[in-house]
Structure 1
């Protein structure tokens, strides 16, 4: 009940997923009601079952999805109706017709071109035989109702507040930026305190894997956004509240690269923490310096998450240059001494440079 209450309050407060769900539900109910009235008055069907059923299920999350599924469902309904009618004509018995028609229709339901609408072929066959009216006029009537319901469902979805899913892209980008910052701050805290081992780096690696799943969610949201803009009218789109433009796709690529760099960074630390591996972790002084660098980069991620434009910050840039200089000096000293810390420190410095270049492009580097 608590979750339901929160959803109701969120829908009442303003635009969001909860309100979108309410709008789509009301549209589906309205389409079913309209289809029932039209089918009863125009087609003279006292039950008017098929038209509202089809209209109800075709108010999908995107207009393009409604149109695609309308074609799939109408084809499935026609196939089920015709197959059941033919089986009834051959066997002359509803049970025999059911046994003859449903198995091949269930096999046909698995055809990829039907999507998830293929099962309607078998259910329509069952309904056709159960109704006991398998005549040419009844078959034509039922198919006509399906087409009517499809037209009404698609029209309602396209013309009444057409669903546009741009918010999901923005929310996923914001969440990804925030979570990258959190991971970098967590790694920085562990390195600064000196309390990290193989178990700690395993947790960091898991956090990086969650970032990759969030990145996959962003890609899915982008595909959903593109589909939602297909076949939707510009003027009708303008009736919706909230931003009508999604962040540019270049942002997806940028944060995909950032996620990859964070994954590489945590993998390097995991290797360094493994006592059975040759590379050794850097000394504590270098790690504390590196932790401060990660904190600054994590702060830049939080700025992105807050959707503030990355402004040049001379103090931050100067501090980063100083920290990088100290790390480069440590790296030269390690390399000159043939220290086993050299490989790990050099790799970590490369990864933070990559993150810096992606997140703070306006700050000049050496």
Structure 2
């Protein structure tokens, strides 16, 4: 056995550490705007609660602002509503029980049980349920102060309102986040198509199984695009400064529908390739060229996603690929080969739909 030298181990460690540092810096850069929003909102919420309402050390106002904003652009209005309702439930239950029963460990238990149960009864999510317990614990565990419960509820409203104003008047660019997630998915689909072409040429069944695992993992990319789109649509509704992004977000919404369908059909095609190679079946080599062609178009679409349909060059390229998808000319004589061609035909139709073409019109581009 040959053992790596000390210098080789150090070099490998430095490489891994360097990639970890780069990934960490990338995360900070991608979330920098959201972090900045949280910092501004926390400061403003504290100042409003302390100077305008006279609350002594209103620590929960900045907490509420940061909780409502978070790093995600998605569901901020829902987070604000759940926070306010959760605080109301927790404060209300604790005020009633503590005034009657006093402070102590068993009072905390009772406050948590009742508060969380009520939050669930009214259909609250995780944030509302958690806040109903946390706020009850605060009031049941700490010495009572004049206006404590009311101040906590007011601080929650202040923090949530400040968060809403920050989103409205210091908004992120909704299109940028959606575009990034869309490009990640399309880039991954291009890689899967390219790998599928290589698998068809090599006939390597183990490599085909690996590509299938990669294709199945694309569901996470679709969900990330969906979440980013919902967040962008919410920003455009809240902020008058971002209303102009609505047509762009509508194009991303249409593109998401088409790419979601294309991803599912591509996944079926890859699964059939893997199944065929696992049983020793041979697949026609022209299919490899088709997958390479599809990968090239996907790379083209990656740069055009979100663009107005009349400006998209990838539509013409997809039409050219559609004309090639004749099973007979591609040598598809087995059931597996015909299934793969059929799925690629569906992928192309779905991608044409993502570029804005009507589905019926897209299907007319396919060979009979």
TM over 0.5: yes
Cα pair 1:58 1:153 within 8 Å, conserved: yes
RMSD, matched Cα:
3.8
Q: If you compute each CA radius of gyration, which structure gives the higher value, 1 or 2? A: 1
Q: What is the 5 A alignment of 1:150-299?
A: 150-159=160-169, 161-192=170-201, 195-233=202-240, 235=241, 245-246=248-249, 247-275=251-279, 280-282=281-283, 287-299=284-296
Partner of residue 34 from structure 2, selected from 21, 24, 32: 24
Residues in 2 aligned to 1:75 and 1:325: alpha-carbon distance in whole angstroms: 59
Q: Following TM superposition, by how much is the alpha carbon of 1:97 offset from its aligned partner in structure 2, in angstroms?
A: 3.5
- Aligned 8 A contact 1:63 1:232 in 2: no
How many pairs were matched up?
A: 333
The 3 A distance-change label for structure 1 pair 43 and 304 is closer
In 2 relative to 1, CA 320–327 (structure 1 residues): closer, same or farther, beyond 3 Å? farther
Query: Aligned partners of 2:28, 2:222: CA distance in 1, in Å?
Result: 23
Task: Give the TM-score, by structure 1 length.
Answer: 0.74
Residues in 2 aligned to 1:273 and 1:229: alpha-carbon distance in whole angstroms: 48
The Cα shift of 1:252 comes to: 1.9
Kindly indicate whether the alpha-carbon contact (under 8 Å) linking 1:36 and 1:48 is maintained by their aligned counterparts in 2.
yes
Residue ranges of structure 1 left out of the alignment (5+ in a row): 11-16, 332-340
Q: 1:291 to 1:105 in 2, by over 3 A?
A: same
Contact kept? 1:162, 1:237, Cα under 8 Å:
no
- The CA deviation string for residues 65-89 of structure 1, in whole angstroms up to 9 with x for no partner, is 4443333222222322232222222
CA distance in structure 1 between the partners assigned to 2:155 and 2:330 by the alignment? 78
- Structure 2: 5+ residue stretches without partners: 1-16, 305-311, 353-361
1:84-136 alpha-carbon deviations (Å, 9 max, x no partner) = 2222222245455434423322434545424413222222223223442255x
Shift of 1:303: 1.7
Could you say what secondary structure the match of 2:248 adopts? coil
SS of residue in 2 equivalent to 1:58: helix
Correspondence for 1:127 among 122, 138, 148? 138
Normalised by the length of structure 2, the TM-score is: 0.73
CA separation in 2, counterparts of 1:268 and 1:174? 26
- Check the 8 A contact 1:60/1:157 in 2, yes or no: no
